Structure 1
Amino acid sequence: MLAPAILRRLDLTTLRLFVAVCEEGSLTRAARHAATAPSAVSKRLVELEQTLGVQLLERGARGMTVTPAGETLLHHARRMLRNAEQIALELAEHAKGVRGIVRMLANLSAIVQFLPEDLRAFLASQGAIKIDLEERPSGGVVRGVAEGAAELGICAGSVPAAGLDSTLYRRDRLVVVMRRDHPLAGRGALAFAETLDHDFVGLHAESSIYASVQAEALSAGRPLRLRVHVPGFDAVCRMVQADMGIGVVPQGVFSLFGGATDLVDVPLSDRWAQRTLQIVTRPGPLTPAAGLLRHHLAAPPDRCPVEAGPERG
């Protein structure tokens, strides 16, 4: 079979030399940097091309250029080398006494509002465990966990997570942030429909909050007067402060960012604005470290006082 033969030739040394030749555009320079004879590098590349049955490099008077097949291998080779480096780093951590590394994805709401304190408490009791945390929008969290990029994720409860196990993490409430001189300031609460006569500052298009705002405007049969997309909650508050419009953020986020901007927040009275955040994992057993973290993060009843209404899927 061809596949085992290919795998035998895709050793890390050959891949490093191939990447070096592609990046240097010269076999001689790549060999010099690798402290290897040019003839040895050339032999490895020829054998690799013979095994794969494709030409990877064009040899010319001015050096080497990558063929389309070579571009494909270059993309995967770089990723394989990064993975190999990560393996070495993580095994070195275990040699230092680390008992486990948990790869975790979370949306911005969870990272800003809740995870700093929750992870600090977890690591205080489980100091021999390391956490590799990456921020992604809720849909990206679900995809990443399903594809095996992480063992554990935290995302908005409104995002479908079919095929994954889910556990309640927290509840939060959405509020409208605005300047103190805005016509809606001073209200005790607002129905979302009342905000649609005003300009909006929106989160990035993949945000679950922005998706909910868009869906509710569509449901009301009104256009969303979006003036600008921004990447994060602090940018929403800054744009609102600059009189670019009003924004929708979690109440806990406003508590962190709003005070420094002299803005005000008004809770949304709509039931969809009372949200849940969920922990998602693939079915089946987790590693011991990930299991400990999920158990720590799973919400006890007294940590989620906000009543959650029906959510838009």
Structure 2
Amino acid sequence: MTNPLRFDLPDLKLFVAVAAAGSLSKGAAALPVALSAASSRLRQLEHRLGLSLFTRHAGGVRLTSAGETLLEHAQRILRAAHDAQQAMNNLNGEVQEVLRLYANTTANSTVLPSALGRFLADRPFVNVVLTECPSRDVVLAVERGEADLGVIDGGYEPPGLLTLPMGRYRLAVLTAPQHPLAQQGATSFRELARYDLVGLPEASAMQSFLKKMADLAGLDLRIRARAPSFAAIVRLVAAGAGAAVVPESTGRDYCDAMGLALVPLSDEWAARELKLCLRQWEDLPSTVRTLAGFLTGLH
């Protein structure tokens, strides 16, 4: 005779929330569940299982070995339940699935918009919330579970996360038509460093990368203005504030419309890469895996 189950989905949701928060009060608040009810439910769960799942200490709670084992199974069960519910919702014509994608500025101005457009066009039951931030913040959001997927600069190798190649792009120099570099067939980074520049904020992945290349070459970059987006940088370039290093495809979009010049950057490192970062593949809900596969060309 099969033994009856000793937990249900609410038990597992509460258990996972407390384990993730490392605190009974924070885990209960995340659901939300009253603290007294959460405490009572966990005690009953431990009693039914005949095992201690947490050790209590002054700073919160810590998983026991039994708790770590249950956490692995609980996460898998909850993912399966989520996928099953989404499949039923889709059959009912309900738009329920919301994917959280974090990406850096470069990704949002190059390969990501058109790729997401194609993905969503074929999936009416999927919505995407896209958040733009520097690569280091993208990594943190994925680590914390705030993002389902993240798109980062190829120079990042975050420990504990899986990274997959997503696309390549090339850097070029955007200038006003009267700029001394405007008529050149190409320019080197060393030559560019002789002129005033417009850039992204220092914390951005691209600006950090350009600073690193300048340091390696013993160059001082004359950044006269910093702007939060490529669209703002373009306006500064058009007004004569300086030249700017931008993704070639982004610069090309603005050249005809604003009468600007785009000059190839001749350095080998001007060929750059974007990566998709994610938690382990088996930990992802099915629709997130589908989007990850689509963005990396696996599907």
Alignment TM-score > 0.5, same fold: yes
2:95 aligned residue (81, 93, 98):
98
2:273 aligned residue (252, 257, 276):
276
1:203 aligned residue (200, 205, 214):
200
Q: Normalization by structure 2: what TM-score?
A: 0.68
Show the counterpart of 2:111.
114
- Residues 7 and 220 from structure 1, CA distance in 2 versus in 1: closer, same or farther, beyond 3 angstroms? closer
Give the residue type in structure 1 aligned to 2:277.
V
CA contact (8 A) 2:281 2:289 kept: no
CA contact (8 A) 1:170 1:299 kept: no
- Residues 193 and 281 from structure 1, CA distance in 2 versus in 1: closer, same or farther, beyond 3 angstroms? same
- Structure 1 residue matching 2:114: 3-state secondary structure: helix
Show the counterpart of 2:132.
135
Residues 1:253 and 2:250 aligned together: yes
Show the counterpart of 2:17.
none
Unaligned 5+ segments in structure 1 are 16-90, 301-313
- Structure 2 residue matching 1:184: 3-state secondary structure: coil
Q: For residue 273 of structure 1, report the CA deviation from its aligned partner.
A: 1.2
Q: For residue 139 of structure 1, report the CA deviation from its aligned partner.
A: 1.5
Q: Distance in 1 between matches of 2:97 and 2:245?
A: 38
CA contact (8 A) 1:168 1:299 kept: no
Show the counterpart of 2:186.
189
Q: Distance in 2 between matches of 1:10 and 1:150?
A: 16
Give the residue type in structure 2 aligned to 1:296.
F
Q: For residue 222 of structure 1, report the CA deviation from its aligned partner.
A: 2.1
Show the counterpart of 1:223.
220
CA contact (8 A) 2:149 2:292 kept: yes
Show the counterpart of 1:266.
263
Unaligned 5+ segments in structure 2 are 1-22, 36-85
Q: For residue 259 of structure 1, report the CA deviation from its aligned partner.
A: 2.3
CA contact (8 A) 1:173 1:273 kept: yes
Q: For residue 164 of structure 1, report the CA deviation from its aligned partner.
A: 1.1
- Structure 2 residue matching 1:258: 3-state secondary structure: helix
Where do residues 1-313 of structure 1 align in structure 2 (5 Å cutoff)?
97-98=94-95, 100-285=97-282, 286-299=284-297
Q: Distance in 2 between matches of 1:204 and 1:154?
A: 18
CA contact (8 A) 2:197 2:241 kept: yes
Q: Distance in 2 between matches of 1:9 and 1:204?
A: 36
Q: Distance in 1 between matches of 2:124 and 2:225?
A: 42
- Structure 2 residue matching 1:257: 3-state secondary structure: helix
- Residues 266 and 13 from structure 1, CA distance in 2 versus in 1: closer, same or farther, beyond 3 angstroms? same
CA contact (8 A) 1:175 1:267 kept: yes
- Structure 2 residue matching 1:158: 3-state secondary structure: coil
Identity of aligned residues (%): 33
- Residues 221 and 133 from structure 1, CA distance in 2 versus in 1: closer, same or farther, beyond 3 angstroms? same
Provide the alpha-carbon RMSD of the alignment: 2.8
Q: For residue 7 of structure 1, report the CA deviation from its aligned partner.
A: 7.5
Q: Which has the larger radius of gyration?
A: 1
Give the residue type in structure 2 aligned to 1:254.
G
Q: Distance in 2 between matches of 1:176 and 1:194?
A: 11
- Residues 218 and 126 from structure 1, CA distance in 2 versus in 1: closer, same or farther, beyond 3 angstroms? same
Q: Give aligned pairs, total.
A: 223
**CA shift digits 1:147-186 (9 cap, x unpaired):** 2111111111012322211111110000011111111122
